[in-house]
Amino acid sequence: MTDQSVIEPSGSKPSKRFSRGNIILYGTLIVVSMYYLLPLYVMIVTSLKGMPEIRLGNVFAPPIEITFEPWVRAWAEACTGINCDGLSRGFWNSVNILIPSVVLSIAIASVNGYALAHWKFKGSETFFTILIIGAFIPYQTMLYPIVILLREIGLMGDLAGLVLVHTVFGMPILTLLFRNYFTSIPEELFKAARVDGAGFWGIYFRIMLPMALPIFVVAIILQVTGIWNDFLFGVIYTKPETYPMTVQLNNIVNSVQGVKEYNVNMAATLLTGLVPLIIYFISGKLFVRGIAAGAVKG
Amino acid sequence: MTTTSQDDARAARRPIRLFRNPMAKIASIPMILTALVVFVGGTAWTVVYSFTDSRLLPRLNFVGLDQYERLWSTRRWLISIENLAIYGICSLILTLLIGFTLAAMLDRKIRGEAVFRSIFLYPFALSFVVTGLAWQWILNPDFGLQEVVRRMGWEGFTFDPLNNPDIVMFGLLIAGLWQGTGLIMCIMLAGLRGIDEDIWKAAKVDGIGTVKTYVRIIIPMMRPVFITALVLIASGIIKLYDLVVAQTNGGPGIASEVPAKYVINYMFRAQNLGQGFAASTMMLVSVIIILVPWAYLEFGGKKRD
Amino acid sequence: MSSVSIRNLDLSFGAVDVLKNLNLEIAEGEFLVLLGSSGCGKSTLLNCIAGLIDVSGGQIHISGRNVTWEEPSDRGIGMVFQSYALYPQMTVEGNLSFGLKNQRMPKDQIAQRVARAAEILQIEPLLKRKPGALSGGQRQRVAIGRALVREADVFLFDEPLSNLDAKLRTDLRVELKALHKQLKNTMIYVTHDQVEAMTLADRIAIMRDGKIQQLDTPSVIYGKPRNKYVADFIGSPSMNFFEGDLSAEAGSCVFEGPDFTLPLTSYEFETPQIGRRKAWLGLRPEHIVTGEAAAAADLSADTIVDIVEPMGSDTLVWVNFGGKPIRVRTDGQSDLEPGDTLRIGLQSARASIFDHQSEDRL
Amino acid sequence: MSSVSIRNLDLSFGAVDVLKNLNLEIAEGEFLVLLGSSGCGKSTLLNCIAGLIDVSGGQIHISGRNVTWEEPSDRGIGMVFQSYALYPQMTVEGNLSFGLKNQRMPKDQIAQRVARAAEILQIEPLLKRKPGALSGGQRQRVAIGRALVREADVFLFDEPLSNLDAKLRTDLRVELKALHKQLKNTMIYVTHDQVEAMTLADRIAIMRDGKIQQLDTPSVIYGKPRNKYVADFIGSPSMNFFEGDLSAEAGSCVFEGPDFTLPLTSYEFETPQIGRRKAWLGLRPEHIVTGEAAAAADLSADTIVDIVEPMGSDTLVWVNFGGKPIRVRTDGQSDLEPGDTLRIGLQSARASIFDHQSEDRL
Amino acid sequence: AELEVTHWWTSGGEAAAVAEFADAFNGQTEHTWVDGAIAGSGGTARPIIISRIIGGDPMGATQLNHGRQAEELIEAGLLTDLTDVAEAQNWREVINPPSLLDACTYEGRIYCAPVNIHSAQWIWLSHGAFDAAGLEVPSDWNEFVAAAPTLMENGIVPLAMGQQGWQQNLAFGTITIAVAGIDAWREVSVNRNAEVAAGPEYTAVFEAVADARELARDSNVQDWNLATNMVITGQAGAQIMGDWAQGEFQIAGQVAGEDYTCLPGLGLNEIIDTGGDAFYFPVVEDAEVQAAQLELAELLVSPEVQVSFNLAKGSLPVRGDIDLSTANDCMQKGLEILAAGNVLPSGDMNLSADTQTQIEDLMAEFWSSDLPAAEAQARYVDIIASAD
Ligand SMILES: Nc1ncnc2c1ncn2[C@@H]1O[C@H](COP(=O)(O)OP(=O)(O)OP(=O)(O)O)[C@@H](O)[C@H]1O
Ligand SMILES: Nc1ncnc2c1ncn2[C@@H]1O[C@H](COP(=O)(O)OP(=O)(O)OP(=O)(O)O)[C@@H](O)[C@H]1O
Ligand SMILES: [Mg+2]
Ligand SMILES: [Mg+2]
């Protein structure tokens, strides 16, 4: 054959960055991102406009004159009924509800998941299956039984009752996640700890917990989102002084006074979503890792 | 030392099974109670009262299947079921499709993966109420999308799903997908990351195109991931309520009613608990119809581990 | 007195019986290796001894105490796992002291024990590191250290070296042997690597399907396998088998193979044989002699070389004999080529003969 | 003409240079084994040849064609992976035919090729099963079959046997060798198992940190390793090394070890040596003779036995010599005990000597 | 004591009215009004209210539409008996029409305090819209229908209609009384006579509603007050809505007779119903709260509070003995009708919530689809026939 060193490459050298595939890929991603960002953009833009500008009609146009008044109003002035102190009233209530609910529900679910993964006993899988089916039951249909239950144990109207309800309804999915995650932790580690004389709680606190960060992140995210955004339980199991932010939001958004103050509504909506949003943005990578460990295997 | 077989008989006694590892059982009590009291108990309670004529308050005055007969002859219920079916099927297919496609794109070792992932995921942080409001606003024909497009010159452009009974469910779908696909994408992404890279290489050596590799090889391998996703989506669909209330409140007319809303309305607004319970029992039954095959697939198939 | 005594142990997972009426006596200070193919129940047996699985029936005694229903930590055992099973969030020191802390041992005593174990295993410089920052061999050392600090009577090893690469495995194997010499604990060691089993064990128990096939010293197991399974399992490259007939007459026995007859002049039968029966003849590749020695063997034949596998220190040659390719081990300097003729010699003294039906050694 | 020719290949992942100006010529029909420790770039090189990674620089020619930028499927290669990488949802037949179907090959031709591959690999009875229902060895055979049906010029194997257990590995190794003999394709085989490398290869390329250390036939690599790294890497149990001085005078060379002096009467130097330099002496365990042969060696000494590791076919004895324990291989029938005295003999002909600094063979 | 009061009055006019209650309560008693507003109309608030009552953790007082809603709560003994307050304050005498109190009465005892009278049968006409189209403001429904095409030509929506079932149902009810007349209405709504519902009077009703549906085609707002806003701003010609709409006009600074016109009974049949809101007081244990409850009940019906509240809300007071000369044009009209006794009992008191929900669903569907009038009527007849 001919001298090989002069043979030209028979394939074409791919140009790395701007290949057609890449353009299509990034193009699609950017277009799709726009769909996802659109509502956020609209909400932000609208919340920074004055009502006259909104009536001009283009939701997508950036504000001509930026005003933070809607935010101020949403936070501190918007009226519901006769109270005109906006969302601010609900914020700390929400925090007060959120923290014990998240802590308790995750604590219980993680122990459940751990027991189901490493300390199986007769019937444990059955209870777990029931729990999973429970994840499909619409909350609203459980409203009455729960009300009656809480009445019977005397927790109706107590913050403890609300925490309990969040714990119960968070349990199925969280338990599933924790169970799958702990199952993925090598059994040998568990065995080693038993040989080392650690008991149920010793292994849980000393061995399992420190390894469970990703799944805790997932659980926290899910619970914070769920509990922070909850309206139904929050309003039924609390009193007006302790109404969570979502009740305030509902009131602001649904009390129409003359015209709908879209800018205030948007600002209120954004303010309400801020807490979970922040948590999402700071925990992105851990979330995927946790999902990988807790949701996919199993 | 002495011989062992007799004097250690005490230690050799087999302990009672129930008391072995007692902590594990004690620690599981909350779960057991939740499962039995709340889920089984609450469900049974609901089913029992669905055979009564309870109105505002639950009472045990049994009327047989009356509530069910009425339920199935109520137009709104039938429409609700139909709507849920339309929404459910579309949402299931589209969520899986979009979620997978996005995940597949993010999995191609792109730059800025974290940014895109956050963008796709953030709507999940927002409640359905917020989702419904935001999209109600964007789809508002007077100053939303339709108006903007019209102003750009397409005078005849009509996209007003929230006021058109024929397509209102798709208006909901747009919002529902916006909110829910991010999580599914995350799950799919995690699943894709779990696929052996050698499979890709093998496919490349076999000369199989990217799309075909996904369709013929990768997706079939991700069955467990799809099942997890399916369960999540399906449980969300059954519960569909907040979004509808926030975005259309069932309207226009009753064109976007859904079963969960029917349940709530009959329990609380119409003060006909029995009817509401009958409807929720029907929902439960359908859940079980969905779940049994799933449970069979998940647990029945692989007894090994 | 035996240190570990297992009596009539039964274990089943649901409908699957994994261990069936298993008996095993392990002397104090003995190094016992459990060898068997994957899934035969080795790990399960070890877990039963450790108390990590509740047995279905039978008893386990350790140091004379019936511990069948005791907690793992109360049995006086230490255990080392294949995957190391180090607690990833604790330092090496934390890993070593975790078990002692659980026993509420005084601080200074813990420190002393940890120091001693670290010295024995030469991991003092690593004490402050976390397992993630250790190499495989170091991790395995720490895992052994964890058993060491417990000053356990019995050490249980579940394939402790199989995650390591070949070189490291050799080194640690030697260390382990030295450790045993120094500590003189009873050690029960699970592996499916026969080199490990042969080099480490005082006695080897070969398991198959939850039953012990043979329990003996390595040389007996290698030289006089009790049945065909053991013979086949032990030895790499493995034994060559020939199907044929054993015909024994007073004073003289022969094995009639497919196209050869081997006089069993110096074979030691377990029981005296009379008559004719179908049987297996087994010959290890290294017991088939070549060159000058072949002429002096009980049977010698010219064969055609099929494949030559040089392995550095020696060469494995496949030759056609008795109607099929058989393995013959020659030295590393062999310059045979496929197609060459090789004279081989079979010696009955080192052969093994098994009944065709029961596959037990005759 | 060489079948695969790699010229000045560079490859980096970001800032990490994995392959550095690598050159390799592989003849048609040759069985080349890439051997090296983990992370040295073996898989990366293989992937470059397959076109699965875009090279940073240099060229790859296969069968005389410059394929540097061609698609993997157009390069005329078949590839077999360690994890098999079978398509789990397809039957064996589907796995074998999927690539061909994709090339729109006529049905009957596909069937013919699949049938042929199945026959060669003896997997006909498995064609309708899915990979999940196959054993490890069967899966690996199917993976090879997938390369086979492509009728590729060059077969690439990336540690195809390392997920299998020892016994199966031996069997498949032999089959692979037979397959190569039958097909006569060029094969490039990645492994870090030296027994595989030694037995399979026509030539072995030893890699380290993205560079080829030595490319030679197995016996040369084993007998005359080009540098200390190769010497240490090849051979199990590995070579014994002694640090010392090489003093060469006209006609007579000696190696002065810690407490011994070995006359290098029959050592073949690569280049003639003059003067004195620090050096390493390497001796393989099987090249240290014992018994009568010891007396006839270039140097003989009495040593104390430290550890005895019987391995069945032979026994590894650790003796103290030159100030440290060294490995000596004796035959399987050895009845040495720790503490015994063993006379060993060192022969210069089979030794290796390396420069102390460059570690290259002298 | 702090008294938690739950209600769903959150629109502008409503909130202003509630503030009157709260101010009076805080000012005139020792107690504090804790406002538990829940926006989103009764549909959102009611489950919350009922859950809390039956859960044993009730609020101090709550708004409920009176009528049959509370019967079961009363039966279960969950609501406070206000009979003593009522007798002390002589509610029997002062409350007018007496049917309001009847609705609060269960087995002779009184359980709620009515606070206002609402009538649904009004149409609100925008002067601005008709001026823009160069038309006279119509004086009844028929004129309005006749004027509609001209409005449409001028780009004005003739009839503003919020796309919610209850608003559509309200329009239906109003048109029924106007078109079919009081007797037919009574036969159907009180006596549940399905034959009449199937008869020609109702056929006319359904046809009229079908006409109205066409007039409201281009109105795609949801909330009632947004529809009202269309009338206020002249975007729409008219809206059929209850008298509470007046609060919105008032807040917008519009003057009855100048900026807008209200026609009771659509100007055809000047009859109004006398529904309304009432407050219930769940049984609580805390004695202080009990006292507060009774004081609030008393206060709610007291003359001054009735005046201030109803002026703000635009509804009619429940007392016949107070001077409302400050009331505007529309309220005066209402008062006159009331004084003349042209009242109907509200549907709340006749048909059960269940039946009403079904009718609402029917109306919701009817208004937003092309369902033929005849078919809607047939389905209406079914609902009436099976009503309990
Ligand atoms: N938890 C379990 N439930 C059911 N079967 C089990 C369980 N654990 C092990 N088995 C079964 O018991 C048998 C013995 O398993 P074991 O782990 O003891 O094997 P092994 O000899 O240790 O194998 P390997 O060499 O692969 O570790 C296997 O067939 C296995 O499938
Ligand atoms: N995608 C990648 N990105 C960055 N570095 C990589 C990548 N793939 C491999 N490397 C690095 O390149 C080096 C060579 O890797 P390679 O997989 O070729 O090693 P190997 O010789 O096959 O090892 P092994 O025997 O463990 O398979 C390693 O140091 C590895 O960390
Ligand atoms: Mg095992
Ligand atoms: Mg590799």
Q: Binning pLDDT at 50, 70 and 90, where does residue D25 land?
A: very high
Q: Within its chain, how far is the Cα of D209 from the centroid?
A: 16
- How much is the average pLDDT of B114-133? 85
Share of chain A above pLDDT 70, in %: 87
C99 touching A (Cβ < 8 Å): yes
Q: Domain locations in chain B?
A: 74-304
Q: Is the CB of C13 under 6 A from ligand 1?
A: yes
Q: Binning pLDDT at 50, 70 and 90, where does residue D137 land?
A: confident
Quote the domain boundaries for residue A47. 20-67
Which of C38, C40, C198, C221 is best to mutate for the D interface (most D CBs within 10 A)? C198
A149 shares its domain with A284:
yes
Which mutation among C19, C40, C49, C53 tests ligand 1's pocket best, with the greatest number of atoms within 8 A of CB?
C40
A57 shares its domain with A105:
no
A178 shares its domain with A240:
yes
pLDDT of residue B4: 43
Distance CA E192, CA E355 (A): 11
Tokens of D318: 């650790």
Tokens of A35: 């769909």
pLDDT of residue D31: 93
pLDDT greater than 50 at residue B304: no
Which of C192, C309, C328, C330 is best to mutate for the D interface (most D CBs within 10 A)? C309
pLDDT greater than 80 at residue A295: no
- Yes or no, beta carbons of E12 and A241 under 8 Å apart: no
pLDDT of residue C46: 92
Residue A12 lies in a domain: no
A31 shares its domain with A163:
no
A124 shares its domain with A43:
no
Global confidence as pTM:
0.84
pLDDT greater than 50 at residue A204: yes
For residue E284, what are the β-bridge partners? Answer: none
Residue A7 lies in a domain: no
Which atom of ligand 2 lies closest to the CA of D210? 14
Residue A15 lies in a domain: no
Write the pLDDT tens digit of every residue in B161-207.
887 888 889 999 999 999 889 889 988 888 888 888 888 888 888 88
Q: Binning pLDDT at 50, 70 and 90, where does residue C121 land?
A: confident
Which of B109, B205, B217, B304 is best to mutate for the D interface (most D CBs within 10 A)? B205
pLDDT of residue E248: 80
In CATH, what number is assigned to the domain containing residue A233? 1.10.3720.10
pLDDT of residue C111: 92
CATH architecture for the domain at B74-304: Orthogonal Bundle (1.10)
Distance CA B141, CA B125 (A): 27
Q: Binning pLDDT at 50, 70 and 90, where does residue B17 land?
A: low
- How much is the average pLDDT of D211-225? 90
Long-range contacts of D312-319 (CB under 8 A, 24+ apart): D312/C194, D312/C195, D312/C198, D312/C218, D312/C222, D312/C234, D312/C235, D312/C236, D313/C235, D313/C284, D313/C285, D313/C286, D313/C329, D314/C286, D316/C199, D316/D237, D316/D285, D317/D342, D318/C174, D319/D344
Please give the distance, rounded to the nearest whole angstrom, from the Cα atom of residue C159 to the centre of ligand 3: 7
pLDDT of residue A100: 92
pLDDT greater than 80 at residue D40: yes
Classify the C-alpha dihedral E329-E332-E334-E337 as positive or negative: negative
pLDDT greater than 60 at residue B10: no
Task: Tell me which residues of chain E have a pLDDT lower than 70.
Answer: 40-43, 65-69, 324, 326, 345-349, 388
Q: Binning pLDDT at 50, 70 and 90, where does residue B19 land?
A: low
pLDDT of residue C225: 92
A162 shares its domain with A96:
yes
pLDDT of residue E345: 66
Angle between the A245-254 and B128-138 helix axes, to the nearest 10 degrees? Answer: 30
Q: Binning pLDDT at 50, 70 and 90, where does residue B6 land?
A: very low
pLDDT of residue A214: 82
Q: Binning pLDDT at 50, 70 and 90, where does residue B89 land?
A: very high
Which atom of ligand 1 lies closest to the CA of C190? 22
pLDDT of residue A2: 40
Lowest mean pLDDT among C21-25, C129-133, D179-183, E314-318: E314-318
pLDDT of residue B67: 86
DSSP secondary-structure letter at E134?
T
C: neighbours with 3+ CB pairs under 8 Å? A, B, D
- Yes or no, beta carbons of C81 and A192 under 8 Å apart: yes
Query: DSSP letter string over chain A?
Result: ---GGGPPPSSPPPPSTT-HHHHHHHHHHHHHHHHHHHHHHHHHHHHTS-HHHHHH--TTSPPSS---HHHHIIIII--BTTB--TTHHHHHHHHHHHHHHHHHHHHHHHHHHHHHHHS--TTHHHHHHHHHHHTTS-GGGGHHHHHHHHHHHT-TTSHHHHHHHHHHHHHHHHHHHHHHHHHHS-HHHHHHHHHTT--HHHIIIIIIHHH-HHHHHHHHHHHHHHHHH--HHHHHSS-GGG--HHHHHHHHHH--BSB--HHHHHHHHHHHHHHHHHHHHHSHHHHHHHHIIIII--
pLDDT of residue A61: 79
Residues B261/A139, Cβ–Cβ less than 8 Å: no
pLDDT of residue D63: 87
- How much is the average pLDDT of D6-14? 88
Whether this model's ipTM surpasses 0.90 comes out as: no
- How much is the average pLDDT of A244-252? 82
pLDDT of residue A5: 44
Residue A139 lies in a domain: yes
Nearest to B102 by CA among B180, B200, B189: B189
pLDDT of residue C276: 86
Distance CA A141, CA B264 (A): 8
C47 touching A (Cβ < 8 Å): yes
pLDDT greater than 90 at residue A106: yes
D37 touching B (Cβ < 8 Å): no
Write the pLDDT tens digit of every residue in E113-126.
888 888 888 889 99
Q: Is the CB of C40 under 6 A from ligand 1?
A: yes
Q: Chain-wide mean pLDDT for chain C?
A: 87
- How much is the average pLDDT of A43-57? 80
Count how many domains chain A has.
Answer: 2
Distance CA D155, CA E95 (A): 100
- Yes or no, beta carbons of C89 and A210 under 8 Å apart: yes
pLDDT of residue D32: 94
- How much is the average pLDDT of A40-58? 81
pLDDT of residue A256: 59
- How much is the average pLDDT of D320-345? 84
pLDDT of residue B177: 92
A268 shares its domain with A158:
yes
- Yes or no, beta carbons of C286 and D314 under 8 Å apart: yes
pLDDT greater than 90 at residue D204: yes
Closest-CA distance of chain D to residue C179, Å? 12
Residue A11 lies in a domain: no
Nearest to D338 by CA among D308, D303, D302, D301: D308
Distance CA D86, CA B77 (A): 49
Distance CA E148, CA E213 (A): 12
Write the pLDDT tens digit of every residue in C31-86.
999 998 878 888 899 999 998 888 888 889 998 888 888 888 888 898 998 888 88
Q: Binning pLDDT at 50, 70 and 90, where does residue A259 land?
A: low
Residue A252 lies in a domain: yes
Distance CA E373, CA B293 (A): 45
What structural domains and CATH numbers belong to chain C? 4-233 (3.40.50.300), 240-355 (2.40.50.140)
